């Protein structure tokens, strides 16, 4: 069984708020990791470390930051099978979905690494004589990221990679039941060449995270918050950030409905096994254990469509 603690300022940080066990959802006797939980004060400590490290990282030329992102992508690619196996073990995804999720990290790194050479500003015409106007892109500062466990490595990469490339420092709080994956991803990112303190990963429960984030905002340690999770928690985070005149990035819970029209405009590739409109619900309903926003949990059919389809 792996022992996991937070990673702050380049070193493990033993938590002050107890511990929990992350278990294999398919075999509850298989304990993946014993996770040391941080206190609100320790979360604030992580934000202070990020704030101290951020100016030097921002001063690093953007193309050089892009090279770090490129190395992270190659490291994930080299360890893809091991990381996918951990996704299967800790959150219970089928191996095909797990491999696809890990590939998302590689694709995200490949997409953003070139942005290190494309962080363009603008030259703007001035209405005044002998004046020139310029705009420059500058990092925001420190980002606090909280992610859910339904996509335990792909969604974090969508936050971490662009934030780091643009010269920001990050404090990341993974889902409690995906702590081993959070630790593994952190190790890969740090091995790619991130300086000490630029990425800090804190394992904490929801109450401690919210309290710590509130304290860090009060101290002016956080300039941007990103959250993926429930609408209920997202509303509280939006309210908290609003007190500090900040607009958080909120990706909240919801389910995309399937709408069936009388005459479908597409056909299933599995004609031999499915009716024309039954294949998408059949494949979408169970995906990610029904825990993703694209899972088909609600269907709506218009008049005249009942003869051409039926729910799976």
Instruction: Output the pLDDT for position 163.
Output: 98
- Alpha-carbon distance of 252 to 260, in angstroms, equals 25
Instruction: Give percent above pLDDT 90 in the chain.
Output: 78
Instruction: Output the pLDDT for position 272.
Output: 45
Instruction: Output the pLDDT for position 258.
Output: 74
Q: Give the pLDDT band (50/70/90) at residue 54.
A: very high
CB atoms within 10 A of CB 265: 5
Q: Region 26-39: what's the mean pLDDT?
A: 96
Q: Region 246-254: what's the mean pLDDT?
A: 90
- Alpha-carbon distance of 164 to 57, in angstroms, equals 9
Domains for the chain: give ranges and CATH numbers: 2-124+133-252 (3.40.605.10), 258-301 (no CATH)
Instruction: Output the pLDDT for position 104.
Output: 97
Q: Give the pLDDT band (50/70/90) at residue 270.
A: low
Question: Does the pLDDT value for residue 91 go beyond 70?
Answer: yes
Q: Region 52-65: what's the mean pLDDT?
A: 97
Half-sphere exposure (Cβ direction) of 234: Cα atoms closer than 13 Å: 16
C-beta of residue 109 within 8 angstroms of C-beta of residue 70? yes
Across the chain, mean pLDDT equals 89
261 contacts: CB under 8 Å, gap ≥ 6? 302, 305
Half-sphere exposure (Cβ direction) of 86: Cα atoms closer than 13 Å: 24
* Lowest-confidence region among 51-65, 197-211, 298-312: 298-312
* Angstrom distances, CA of residue 109 to CA of 39, 69, 160, 172, 249: 32, 6, 10, 17, 20
* pLDDT (tens digit per residue) in 116-170: 999 999 999 999 999 999 998 999 999 999 999 999 999 999 999 999 999 999 9
Report strand pairing: 2-4 vs 27-36: parallel
């Amino acid at each position: 069984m792996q022992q996991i603690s937070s990673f702050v300022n380049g070193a493990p940080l033993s938590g002050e708020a107890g511990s929990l066990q992350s278990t294999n959802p398919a075999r509850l006797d298989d304990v993946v990791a014993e996770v040391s939980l941080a206190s609100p004060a320790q979360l604030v400590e992580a934000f202070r470390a990020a704030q101290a490290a951020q100016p030097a990282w921002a001063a690093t030329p953007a193309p050089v930051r892009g090279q770090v992102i490129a190395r992270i992508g190659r490291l994930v690619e080299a360890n893809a099978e091991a990381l996918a196996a951990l996704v299967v073990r800790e959150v219970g995804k089928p191996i095909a979905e797990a491999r696809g999720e890990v590939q998302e990290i590689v694709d995200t790194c490949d997409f953003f690494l070139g942005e290190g050479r494309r962080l363009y500003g603008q030259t703007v015409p001035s209405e005044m004589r002998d004046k020139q106007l310029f705009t420059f892109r500058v990092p925001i500062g420190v980002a606090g990221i909280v992610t859910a466990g339904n996509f335990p490595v792909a969604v974090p990469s969508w936050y971490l990679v662009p934030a780091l490339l643009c010269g920001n420092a990050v404090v990341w709080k993974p889902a409690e039941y995906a702590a081993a994956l959070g630790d593994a991803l952190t190790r890969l990112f740090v091995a790619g060449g991130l300086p000490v303190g630029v990425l800090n990963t804190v394992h904490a429960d929801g109450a401690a995270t919210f309290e710590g984030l509130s304290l860090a905002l009060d101290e002016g340690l956080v300039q941007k918050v990103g959250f993926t999770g429930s609408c209920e928690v997202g509303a509280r985070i939006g309210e908290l950030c609003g007190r500090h005149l900040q607009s958080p990035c909120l990706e909240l819970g919801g389910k995309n409905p399937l709408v069936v029209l009388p005459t479908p405009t597409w056909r299933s590739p599995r004609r031999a096994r499915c009716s024309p409109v039954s294949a998408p619900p059949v494949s979408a309903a169970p995906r990610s254990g029904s825990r993703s926003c694209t899972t088909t949990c609600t269907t709506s059919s218009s008049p005249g469509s009942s003869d051409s389809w039926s729910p799976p």
